[in-house]
Structure 1
Amino acid sequence: MATPEKKEEPKKVTPLLELPKCSKATPSPNPDEYGDMITIVVGSAENVRKFYTYQGLLAHYSTYFKAALKDDWKEGTLKTVNLKDDNPEVFKAFFHWIYTGKLYFALDASGKIPLSEQLICEIYVFGDARGSTNLYNAAIDLLLQKTHQEWKVPLDQIPYVYENTLPGSALRKYLVDDVVETYRFRRLADPTQRETELPRYPQEFLAEIVVAFMALGSKPIPSSAGYGNMPIGQDNWAKYIKPLLCSRYHNHPAPPA
């Protein structure tokens, strides 16, 4: 008699970390002030997508669109904005966010955040470039949730972030803090791997890591998270970082005029 095959149990997925709402976020605009419909053409060549949304929504959440859609600008007259150098997937997330307050429609079938670390970093850069403070705050929040759910540092995104942000940016600060609090650079510590590992990191990033560790002095790492897959580290890091999220990584825009 054949032994029935054992079914592999699906891996447990860490539930989405609930974060406190930012008390200084820009409130939603009055629907009476949405205004005309605008066409946004994003991407180039074969990777082009059109989005249709309200002028008032775009202007409310982005200083770039507020300026671009003035009646005396070409975009304002034609009711069309071309963003040929942008990623349609990034604008799609922005589009979701201005209507729902979320950067994606739903978690995937396994309960995971459906956006990659790279895409979340690109959303931050888009928000920074387009004058949408609330958008890049939302991207920081989502990256923190992604970090907690996957329990890994987004190391591969560090070069992109340092190439596309300015010193002092919240995203740089988040990555430095995350590394200091949860990562141990084991490959850098191994002389046999150091030569191939070191070029992965921008010099500015490594300098900021050194400064951050020097600031700790003899104090223990604040989160006491350590590195590894132990749930205790994951939970401790989450408890430590949640109440600090807004004060450490959010920028708060002035109320709209």
Structure 2
Amino acid sequence: MATPAPSTDDVAQIPEPIPCAYPPAKPPAHVYDTIITVAVGPDDAKKKFEIYRGLLCHFSSYFDRMLNGSFREAGSTYLHLKDVDAATFQVFYYWLNSGVVDYTSGDASTTAARIWQNAIDAYIFADFHQAQVFKNAVLDSLYLYYEKNNLMCVSITGTLYANTVAHDAMRNFIVCIAAGTLSFKSVQMHGGAELCEKAFLFDVILASQERILVPAVDAGLWLADMRKNFCEHYHTYKKTGIS
């Protein structure tokens, strides 16, 4: 059996799912096949994960091509991801095993800033490794976190903008939160405008003008409408060409 996912002692509650027009199907039984070892991190600080090979390939086109294509890793039962952070892979690994996106590793004292940073790191991992279902799940989890806690950390915008392109779903989502629910005064309280990526601030101003919104004034309307239309605005389905 694969290494069991660690218990989070009720810290990572399974959220009410966001309505999705194209909900992902459950993995077929045959993906629970050969167990492989994935070592994550540099040579002197590797963390090893045991994962079903078929399950990993099912949820990641990147790993599917690596393990089933013409790469040297094809057919291998051992992978070493030197440039991936182990904590980020842990979020992916836990989701593979449980269907839950947890940024806390069971620590209820995890700060909002750390949760947002872990989420952005997980999103960038999902984007690079073409794990589309996981990528959508990360977006869903961040929306649900914001809906429940009304906490955002704008200091993550530098990392996000450095690793994504214009019109990226996470960029659009963060901009929409800021334009629809935050005042510029609250931006300072949630990390400081001086910590924001300048392109992010520009996008917020542009989005506010396009939606004829004054930030924070229409917050209630934004939150009431966001869940209903979240799939249409932010989910992407590359296999079917839907976005």
Q: Same fold (TM over 0.5)?
A: yes
Q: Distance in 2 between matches of 1:127 and 1:111?
A: 25
Q: Distance in 1 between matches of 2:16 and 2:228?
A: 11
Q: Distance in 1 between matches of 2:30 and 2:206?
A: 50
Q: Distance in 2 between matches of 1:109 and 1:78?
A: 34
Residue type of the partner of 2:76? L
1:79-90 mapped onto 2 (5 Å cutoff): 79-90=77-88
Q: Distance in 1 between matches of 2:92 and 2:187?
A: 37
Q: Distance in 2 between matches of 1:248 and 1:50?
A: 36
Q: Distance in 1 between matches of 2:28 and 2:218?
A: 45
**Aligned to 2:118, what secondary structure does the other structure show?**
helix
The equivalent of 2:145 in structure 1 is 146
The equivalent of 1:171 in structure 2 is 170
1:119-198 mapped onto 2 (5 Å cutoff): 119-186=118-185, 198=193
Question: What CA RMSD, in Å, does the superposition of the two structures yield over aligned residues?
Answer: 3.4
Q: Distance in 2 between matches of 1:66 and 1:172?
A: 27
* C-alpha contact 1:223 1:240 (8 A) present in aligned 2: no
Task: Give, in angstroms, the shift of residue 205 of structure 1.
Answer: 1.1
Q: Distance in 2 between matches of 1:162 and 1:40?
A: 28
The equivalent of 2:232 in structure 1 is 247
Residue type of the partner of 1:19? P
Please give the TM-score of this superposition, normalised by the length of structure 2.
0.80
Distance 1:34 1:175, change over 3 A: same
Rg larger in structure: 1
Task: Give, in angstroms, the shift of residue 170 of structure 1.
Answer: 0.6
Which digits, 9 at most, give the CA deviation of each residue in 1:4-30, with x for residues without a partner?
A: xxxxxxxxxxx9863324241331222
Q: Which runs of 4+ in 1 moved over 4 A?
A: 105-115, 219-223
- Runs (5+) with no aligned partner, structure 1: 1-14, 190-196, 226-232
Distance 1:22 1:223, change over 3 A: farther
Which digits, 9 at most, give the CA deviation of each residue in 1:115-143, with x for residues without a partner?
A: 71110111111000000111111111111
Task: Give, in angstroms, the shift of residue 52 of structure 1.
Answer: 1.0
Q: 1:24 aligns with which of 7, 22, 25?
A: 22
**Aligned to 2:50, what secondary structure does the other structure show?**
strand
What is the aligned residue count?
A: 227
Q: Distance in 2 between matches of 1:147 and 1:138?
A: 14
The equivalent of 1:208 in structure 2 is 203
Residue type of the partner of 2:142? L
The percentage of aligned residue pairs carrying the same residue is: 23
The equivalent of 1:224 in structure 2 is 218
**Aligned to 1:78, what secondary structure does the other structure show?**
coil
Please give the TM-score of this superposition, normalised by the length of structure 1.
0.76
Residue type of the partner of 1:83? L
**Aligned to 2:68, what secondary structure does the other structure show?**
coil
Which deviates the most, 146-155 or 111-120?
A: 111-120
